Chain A
Amino acid sequence: MEERNFAVINHETPRLESIDKATGSGKYTDDLSVPNMAYAVLVRSPYSHAKVLSINMSEAERVPGYLGCALPKDSPQVYFNCSGNPPSPLLMADERVLTDEPLVLGDRVAVVAAETETAARAAAEAVKVEYEIIAPVLDVKAALAPNTPALQPHIALDNIIQRRDVAQGNIAAGEVASDNIMGDRFVTPAMQHTTIELTCCVADFSDGEHITIYSCSQTVFQERRILAEIFGLKESNVRIIKPLVGAGFGARQQLHAQHVAALISRRIGRPVKLLYTREEDFYSVMRHASDVDLRIGVDKSGKLQLFDTTFRLNAGPYTTHTPTVVAAAARKLQYNVPNYSFVGLSVFTNHITGGAFRGYGNTQLTFGREILMDRLAQKLGMDPVEFRLMNHVQVGQCFPCASIPVSSNGIEDCARRCQQLQREIDRREPLIDDDEIRQAWGISFSCHGSGPSSKEGLSSAVIMVNDDATVQLLVGSSDIGQGSETMESQIAAESLGISLEDVHIKAADTGLTPYDTGTFGSSQTFICGNAVVRACDDLKRKILTQLRVIYPDAEVEQLGKRYLVEANGEKTEMTFSQAIHKIMFDPHGCVPIGAGTYKAAACPNPFSVCFVKAEYYKKLNALRLLDVIEVVDVGTPINRMTVAGQLEGGIAQGVGYALYERMEINPRSHRTLSTDFLHYRIPQMGDMPRTHVDMVSSYDPYGPHGAKSVGELATVPVAPAIVNAARRASGMEINSLPLCDTFVILPAKRGGVK
C-alpha cells in the first residue's frame, strides 16, 4: 500500500478556474459568439399529447430578421436515444429530432432561425400549429391500467419499456424466516435539476459535412456519437467542445437540442446559438417520479431476512435513461439480505421525460428503504444506528446479487462521527419536548458506486511534457462545476511529484482530448482519476527508459518520485524537473509522453451517514429543520474543499427534495405549473438548516491514491433522514414527498456563521 503522507491531494485546494469565475472572465456557452452567428428557437408542443395537423409559417416568415425553419418533415427520420450513456440494448431508440406527434409538454415540433434572439423568439411565437389534442396519461398506475393505449406501441404494448428482475434466495423462505415484516408504498415526486445556467449550445453545421458544437455537456463523446448517427457522419467529423458549465447534476447527461441546432444550421448555412428559456429548462428533464412497494422482514435478533420490492419509475414518453436508472437502483442495497427480490418497471407516460439526476435510482429506492428500516428499528426497540450496522455488508462481502466484494468500508466510523457531532449539538441545545414543540433526530445510511458500473466506465488520459518540466494533461471527462479538472490535476501532480501549478489541464473537447465515457455515475475521481495515474506511471516509465539510453553505463532506477543514476560508484538523484531537462536537451533525448487508460474493473462503494435534527410544532402541525450532519467514507478525499462542497450542496438538494420540490401538473390543462422559480421553489440561503460535514479516514485499494466517489452519494441519504426526523418528532408515518403536503414548513433559524 502506498504511503499516505500526500503532498498535493487530501488537502483543501481552491479550484484552478476560481479566479476566472470570480472575476466574470470565465466563458460559459451563452457567453460565446462566433462570426456570422444566427439564433434558433424551438416551437414546442403546448400539450402533453397531441397530433400536429398543420403548420403555417406565413406570419413567422414576415418577422424582420427571419432566416428559415425546419419542420418535422425536414427532420432526419432516424430514431435515437438521447441519453449520454454508451450504447446498450437497454436504451431503446424512440425519439426523433422533430416530431409531428408530440408525446410530452414541450416536445420539439419545429425550429426557426433569425438574425437576433429576440427576432427568433418572435418568429417562433408566430408559427401557427394546429393540433389534435389527445388525452394524456400522466401517472404510472394509469399507464399500467389494462385499457390504457400504448404510447410507443413499437416498443411496448403495455407501456412497460422494460421489466428488470433481480433476485437471490427465495421470498417465501424469507417470509418464513422473518418474525417481523413491515411494508408500505412509497411515492416520490418528479424533481428538476434547476442548474442556474440555462441550457445552451452554439452549433455550426453550415458546410453540411462537419459539425462543431459548443455545448454545456456532461458527456461530449456520447453527444458526438449520437449526432454522428443522426446525421450519418463519421465521428471524426463531429467536434463537441465544452466551455465552462453552470452545473449538471445529470441534466446534461443527454442531448437537449444540439441536434436541432445542427439541423437548422445546415439549412440556413450559418452557425446558430440555441438558448433555452427557464421554462424550457424546467420541462426538459426530470428526476423520475417513483411509485414503490417495499417489504422488509427481520428475525428476532434483528437480522434482515427479506427485502422485496416492486420499483416503478415514471419515464415520460421516451426511453432515454429509464431502464439504466432502474438497473442502478437494484445495485445499491448495502445490507446483507439472504432473500432479495427486485422487480423494476420502466413505465411510459406523457409526464415530463425522466433522465439522469444525481442519485440515479438510488435516491428513490433508498428513500423507502431507510424509512422502513427506521420503523423496524423502533418496533424492535433497537437503536437505529446499531440496527443498520449489524446488517451492513462488510469488506470482503458482496451486496445482494453483486459479484464484486466490497473493497473498503468506513460506514461505522461515519456513524460514530455523526454520533459525536450529535452529542456536541445536544450538549449545547438539549432536545426539547414540551406542550408546544418536540424535537427529534432522524438518521439514514446510503451508498453509491464510483462509476456507472464495473463494466461501463472507460476513460483515458495523456500527459505531454514541456521543456520547462511543466506538463499538459489531456482528459476527455467534463468538469461541470464539481471541480474534476482540479481533482485530476491534483492526482497528476501527486503521481509525478510536481507542484499543482505545473499541471495545465485541457478537458472535454472531442477534437483534442482522449475518449472518456462521460461525467456521470460519480465516475470522474475513480475512473478518470485511475486513467490519470496510469498516464503518469507510463510517463515515469518512459523517463526511466530514456535516462537509461542517455546513461548506458549507469544503473538507473526510480526512487519514489525521484530518479537515481549510479555510475562508477557516484550517485546522482534527479527530481522530475531535472530528469525532464536532461532528457529533452540531451543528444539522445526525446519528448516523453505518457498515456493511460482505465476500463472499470471495480466500482468501489463510497458510504454516507446522515443525521437530521428537526422540530415539530404540535399545535401548528409545522416542521422546521435545525441541523443536518453528513459524514462520508469516500476513500482518500482528493480535494477536501470540493468534497465538503459536494456534501453541502448535496444536502441542499436533499432539503429541497424532502420539503417542497415537485414538478406539478395541472390536472385539467395537463400543463405544468412549475415554469419558473416562483412556482418551483428551491432552497434559498435563509432556508438552509445548519450543516455539519466531515470525511472519515479511509483508503480504497482500487482507487487512485485510495479515492472513491462523492458527488451523487452526498444527496441520497438526506431526504429519508429528514423524513425519519419528522416521523420521530411528529409521531406521524410518512411515505411520500414533498413534506409540504403533510406539514407547514417553517423557515430555518440558524443564526450566522461563526
Chain B
Amino acid sequence: MADKTYRIQMTLNHERRTFFVTQGETLLQLLREQARLTGTKKGCDLGECGACTVIMDGRAVNSCCVFALCADGSTVETIEGIGTPEHLHPLQQAFIDVGAIQCGFCTPGMIMAAKALLDSNPHPTGEEIQAAMSGNLCRCTGYTKIEQAIAVAAKVIDAYANGKETRT
C-alpha cells in the first residue's frame, strides 16, 4: 500500500523542516497530519473557502490546492507561527479586541490572508482589504468586524514601524 514518498525541505514557521510526502499529498494535509499544525483548517478542500490559507513565499495560498511537493524549498507561515498567547500578532489582537471572531473556524485563514495583505501593502484602502479578503468566506460575522480588525491592525503595525509605539 505504501505510495512512493519524496523528501522535501521547507522553512516552516521559521524552522527548517524535512518531510516525506506522496505525490498527491496537499500542503494542507502535510500541515495538519504530519506537522500537526491543526490551526490551518479544512473547510472545503476545493480552494473556495479560504479556511486553509497560509503564507507561502510571501503570498497567501489555499494550502488545499498546493501539492506538498511544490512546497519543497519554500518558506511557509501558518497561524501558529505568527504569534503566541503572550505575544499576539497585531492582527490576532485586533481580531480579538473588535469581536471579529465568532465560531472562529475561518479566523486562522482570515488572519493569514490579512497578514499577506499588510506585509505587501501596509496602508490598504477599504476596497483593497475587501478585494484581498474575497477568497475567505465567513458565515457568522457578516465581515464588518473582520474588515474593521484589519484596518485597526494596519494602524497598530504602522505605529510600531514608525516607532510611535514600542512593544511591551
Bound-state CA distance A722–B46 (Å) is: 32
B8 shortest CB reach to chain A, Å: 19
Stretch of B65-73, B88-96, B157-165 on the interface side: B88-96
Task: Decide if B11 is an interface residue (CB 8 Å cutoff).
Answer: no
Task: Decide if B121 is an interface residue (CB 8 Å cutoff).
Answer: no
Interface string of B39-58 (1 = CB under 8 A from A): 11111111011010000000
**Which of A483, A644, A686 has most chain B Cβ within 10 Å?**
A686
Q: Are A641 and B83 in contact (CB under 8 A)?
A: no
Interface string of A118-147 (1 = CB under 8 A from B): 110000000000000000000000000000
Q: Are A752 and B127 in contact (CB under 8 A)?
A: yes
Task: Determine the chain B residues whose CB is within 8 A of the CB of A648 once the complex forms.
Answer: 141-145
B80 shortest CB reach to chain A, Å: 5
Bound-state CA distance A651–B42 (Å) is: 25
Q: Are A691 and B104 in contact (CB under 8 A)?
A: no
Residue count of chain B within 8 Å CB distance of chain A: 60
**Which of A30, A642, A651 has most chain B Cβ within 10 Å?**
A30
Task: Determine the chain A residues whose CB is within 8 A of the CB of B80 once the complex forms.
Answer: 23-25
Which of A24, A197, A244, A641 makes the CB contact (< 8 A) with B37?
A: A24
Task: Determine the chain B residues whose CB is within 8 A of the CB of A650 once the complex forms.
Answer: 142
Given contacts A649-B140, A652-B141, contact A22 B102 (CB under 8 A): no
Task: Decide if B136 is an interface residue (CB 8 Å cutoff).
Answer: yes
Task: Determine the chain A residues whose CB is within 8 A of the CB of B148 once the complex forms.
Answer: 753
Stretch of A13-21, A347-355, A512-520 on the interface side: A13-21
Given contacts A17-B104, A246-B105, contact A197 B88 (CB under 8 A): no
**Which of B39, B80, B111 has most chain A Cβ within 10 Å?**
B39
Task: Decide if A551 is an interface residue (CB 8 Å cutoff).
Answer: no
Q: Are A682 and B107 in contact (CB under 8 A)?
A: no
Task: Decide if B118 is an interface residue (CB 8 Å cutoff).
Answer: no
Q: Are B42 and A22 in contact (CB under 8 A)?
A: no
Smallest CB-CB separation from A655: which chain B residue? B142
Task: Determine the chain A residues whose CB is within 8 A of the CB of B49 once the complex forms.
Answer: 196, 278, 677
Total CB contacts across the A-B interface at under 8 A = 197
- Which residues in window 175-219 of A have CB below 8 A to B? 193-198
Task: Decide if A737 is an interface residue (CB 8 Å cutoff).
Answer: no
Interface of A is mostly: loop
Q: Are B126 and A196 in contact (CB under 8 A)?
A: no
Given contacts A481-B103, A685-B136, A691-B142, contact A23 B83 (CB under 8 A): yes
Q: Are B105 and A196 in contact (CB under 8 A)?
A: yes
Task: Determine the chain A residues whose CB is within 8 A of the CB of B111 once the complex forms.
Answer: 22
Bound-state CA distance A320–B142 (Å) is: 29
Task: Decide if B138 is an interface residue (CB 8 Å cutoff).
Answer: yes
**Which of A27, A28, A277, A752 has most chain B Cβ within 10 Å?**
A752
Bound-state CA distance A618–B133 (Å) is: 31
Bound-state CA distance A19–B146 (Å) is: 15
Q: Are B143 and A688 in contact (CB under 8 A)?
A: yes
Q: Are A31 and B134 in contact (CB under 8 A)?
A: no
Smallest CB-CB separation from A15: which chain B residue? B101
Task: Decide if A751 is an interface residue (CB 8 Å cutoff).
Answer: yes
Given contacts A14-B97, A278-B45, A752-B151, contact A481 B143 (CB under 8 A): no
Interface string of A638-672 (1 = CB under 8 A from B): 00011011001111110000000000000000000
Task: Decide if B34 is an interface residue (CB 8 Å cutoff).
Answer: no
Given contacts A642-B99, A753-B148, contact A23 B142 (CB under 8 A): no
Task: Determine the chain B residues whose CB is within 8 A of the CB of A278 once the complex forms.
Answer: 43-46, 48-49
Q: Are A645 and B141 in contact (CB under 8 A)?
A: yes
**Which of B44, B79, B84, B138 has most chain A Cβ within 10 Å?**
B44
Task: Decide if A729 is an interface residue (CB 8 Å cutoff).
Answer: no
Task: Decide if A403 is an interface residue (CB 8 Å cutoff).
Answer: no
Bound-state CA distance A677–B44 (Å) is: 8
Task: Decide if B75 is an interface residue (CB 8 Å cutoff).
Answer: no
Task: Decide if A482 is an interface residue (CB 8 Å cutoff).
Answer: yes
Smallest CB-CB separation from B78: which chain A residue? A24
Q: Are B103 and A195 in contact (CB under 8 A)?
A: yes
Q: Are A688 and B142 in contact (CB under 8 A)?
A: yes
Closest 3 CB pairs of A and B: A752-B126, A24-B39, A481-B103
Q: List 13 A-B contacts (CB under 8 A).
A: A22-B93, A23-B85, A24-B39, A27-B38, A28-B105, A64-B1, A196-B139, A244-B104, A247-B105, A249-B139, A482-B102, A684-B134, A750-B126
